[in-house]
Chains A and B, each alone.
Chain A
Amino acid sequence: MVFTNGPRGLANLLKPEDVDVHLLIEGLYQRYGYDFRNYAPASLKRRLHSFLKAEGMATIALLQARVLSDPTCAQRLLLGLTVTTTAMFRDPSFYLAFRQQVVPLLRTYPFFCIWHAGCSTGQEVYSMAILLQEEGLYHRCRIYATDANDRVLQTAQQGIYSYRQMQDYTQLYMRAGGQQTFSEYYTASYNNAILRPSLRERVVFGEHNLVTDGSFNEFNVIICRNVLIYFNQTLQNQVHELFYNSLCKFGILALGKQETIRFTKYEAAYEDLVKAEKLFRRRG
């Protein structure tokens, strides 16, 4: 540590509220081991503020005091900081590109592994399972679907979604190049749609935290869409190192539509497979 005589340069001083955010995040880590220290600050702050509102608290400083002494509040906060935006065949053009450009590559393997990192409530995992079934490849694969949050993983494992969403999903399925009738993939029960159990035959659901956990297998495809946007660049580089080390040579990395490896250390390690859909291929 370097000691200086005067205060730090003005530009480096934090605003009072940012100090409170910093202390809260540090406290969450020290007290419970939840590591949000390298999350992108802007979206993290927004989520903290909506959580404050929901809890009826006035300031981040109050929240900090509460969270440190109340584990159930910390649990709620953890859930409040978890992003669950997802849909079956979200971004249909991605699935279309996957079908056209990645599936032919996968056909060359007798067996292949896919890691869906940050799978949330599972809709996109089942979408991939449907796609691979229709392409006659599902029996040759294993899908590891992971998320840091066990609550959303439980939902993913059940494969039961609100029936109301099915109309929307059907539209997306068709635009994603779906070849069957979408309703064949689920059974309606009251207000729910229960997905066909065969869709998870080759899926292993498991807890994995991209921030703290390491590599656990070698994969032919890693799908991680709209997860890394919540991380700062330090953490993005760290996770890209994990992905790079977990991908086989010429393996495929799929990111979200507006995500890029351009601003990371791994830019040169991949080539574009489908540029617009953020499908990258690991160089040899």
Chain B
Amino acid sequence: MTSETPVRPQQQVERLERVTVRFAGDSGDGMQLTGTQFTKTTAIFGNDLATLPDFPAEIRAPTGSLPGVSGFQISFASSDIRTPGDQPDALVAMNPAALKVNIGDLRPGGLLIVDEGEFTGPNLKKAGYQSNPLENGSLAGFEVVPVNITRQNELALEEVDLPSKQKFQSRNFYALGLVLWLYGRSLDPTVKWAQQRFSRNPAVLDANLRALRAGYNFGDTTELFQVRYDVPPAPVEPGLYRHISGNEATALGFLAASLKSGLSLFYASYPITPASDVLHELSKHRNFGVKTLQAEDEIAAIGAAIGAAYGGSLALTGTSGPGLALKSEALNLAVMTELPLVVIDVQRAGPSTGMPTKTEQSDLLQAMFGRNGDSPVAIVAPSTPSDCFIMAIEAFRIALKYMVPVIYLSDGYVGNGSEPWRIPDMDEIPAIEYQFASASEADSFSPYNRDPQTLARPWAIPGTKGLEHRIGGLEKSSATGDISYDPGNHHQMTLYRNQRVARIAQDIPPVEVSGPEDGELLVLGWGGTAGAIATAAERARQQGKSVASAHIRYLNPFPANLGEVLSRYDKVLVPELNMGQLALLIRAKYLVDAVPFNKVAGQPFKITEIEAKIDEVLGLRGPYELEFGPASVLGGG
């Protein structure tokens, strides 16, 4: 492969350890593509990185309007990195609306690249600007680089035979080329990708590549930029890597569970943001024996999954918060009939329809308690995009071994976020064990005969001669499996259902602590806040503070050592993107005076927010209040 990247040693280069860049434009401007390509190039270069895409709920909000702004943030570094960054160091704004929505997040003095060609009367009006911010001095606190991307792109594409409207759509490649130049990155990965992506459309390929190179060369030849930046590669574990989003890793993890158990995967789902990608991904894999059903509604999706579980398949359904609410009654049927089932909940901001494209962790209590009766299910929660792969396998390992429904609590941040992933060696992943009851047991068979270790009932699937039996939502006799209203039996069966879930604790890894084994403060989290919490605690330790952090991936039951770990610290801080749901459970179960730290803004935590709260809890500052920008779309963490 010949390199397309000319080197200009005379260029002034500033070395940085970490950089956060945000691309923002109209949802039709292709900002997700720009962000993704920049990310791939950065990953191949060898930086550690984290990303956060952010797109509007409206499929096509009016062009140029504030609700139509789409963004993509990437943070990359020469050291270990866990979050997509608090504040962008650089912002690329493709129109006035994108500027207005995002400027509040740009760090003071940050680099602002704008397409000045779009700062025209009508566009300014659509964004609600009274006067042009490029001219009225309001951006004086930033390093503003106005580039007429629209015009430059037009000129670069003069010889291309495409309608001007279509040429306009290559602007994102121009911007990408410019930013790749700025950070000293090669065009090669993008050129290679575009050649494949647009192979059937040579005119579009030509346009995009011309735009890409024009953007790059513009940076190289003009003197608008005083410096270029260099972020050297990070020391990462050797191996074969790829880029993966949480939802992709979720789908692959469940497929891996199918291969590791030898059971066919059945996925039934009703489209819902932000979980639909899992349906899209699994639908592709018919050649692995995966059968998918786009059900008529959320209830049908879980109903079909229960039917498949009853028939002996690896049964999976997936949704987001409102859908989990609809699935509650059927989930309880799976609890009562003790069938192995996994329910994905990619959480989003609620209540009700809430903010579908924004993240939140507010379904924990719904997962724990959102059903009638005493109705325990197991709950696991991946903490990063790549952790999704591991926890998906774990969900089925637990479901099959304990004959229990498992809720897999992802969230929009984990699901849509992506990171480099060291591709696992499938041979190192243990097989998932299960057993069907066999016809040879016919004489002694009873559907609720429990395994003494796990308390799991037998999985007796239709088609097995001599094991014909009836199950259902009515309480059953623990001895015979017949309908029973006997008071002692119901009490006993309720205890069994609880103890069976409680015993999973003996079968999951202990919670691990980063930092001191005991001390002043433990910061405890779960789910997608992992990166922000670990980084904030680490920074506190670097400042000599006695702060440890721990992250729970098993929410029900909790790891067996959690109570003991909590007891080793004077204080426990629980940052959550909800009103204190884990904190409530921790306080109730361990009688620990955990301090909740709650943010319910549809955005992840910023590291600095957790750092400030740590200082407050340690008595190093006064009360800390969260601050919210007026129209911040992304906001790192």
Q: Do A and B come from one complex?
A: no
